[in-house]
Amino acid sequence: MPDGHGAGGHDAYFMSGAPRFLVDINVGRLARWLRVLGYDALLARDVDDNALVRLALREGRVLLTRDTQILKRRVVTLGLLRALLIQHDAVADQLRQVMDALSLEGTAHAFSRCIECNEPLAQRRPDEVRVMVPPYVYGTQRAYSQCPTCRRVYWRGTHWGNMRKEMERVRPGLGDSPA
């Protein structure tokens, strides 16, 4: 397994469309960037390796980790659990590795998930978020999304633009994903 992931099992993880990820806490920032791209990326906090593997198997998630011991488990070596050993320290390189290893392209669903809690965002009218955003933002923006769980509100401001630039740095053309 020179590429750091289990043999076989690839089709089972993608039959329903985009892969879903379980991200080990040791590469936690990667989960946020996968969410920016619109992928379901569950971050595992305070979970031992056994629980991590069980959760990934139960939910059909690709496990992303820097823990080499997980890659030695039978469920991984037999291809029952898809796991990718993250090789890099920088999150941009980690994201590039995941995209290359799983042949992921840009996504039409960029900016569709809460980067904090992974929930799909709901579109909101300006009047619905008026009291939740700064007056300048309310006066200059017309498109809003909100997380139904943590209630965080998103709009296309400078932070959004900076994230698109970072996506472009990861892979040219990725920052052009519709949002």
What contacts 24+ positions apart, CB below 8 Å, involve 138-144?
Answer: none
CB 66 within 8 A of CB 26: yes
pLDDT for the residue 15: 40
Average pLDDT of span 74-97? 95
Q: Is the pLDDT of residue 52 over 90?
A: yes
pTM of the predicted model, to two decimals?
Answer: 0.84
pLDDT for the residue 161: 82
Q: Which helix (H) or strand (E) holds 2?
A: none
158 vs 73, higher pLDDT: 73
Q: Is the pLDDT of residue 65 over 90?
A: yes
Indicate the residue type of 120: P
Q: Is the pLDDT of residue 172 over 70?
A: no
Task: Report residue 108's pLDDT band, with 50, 70 and 90 as the boundaries.
Answer: confident
pLDDT for the residue 177: 53
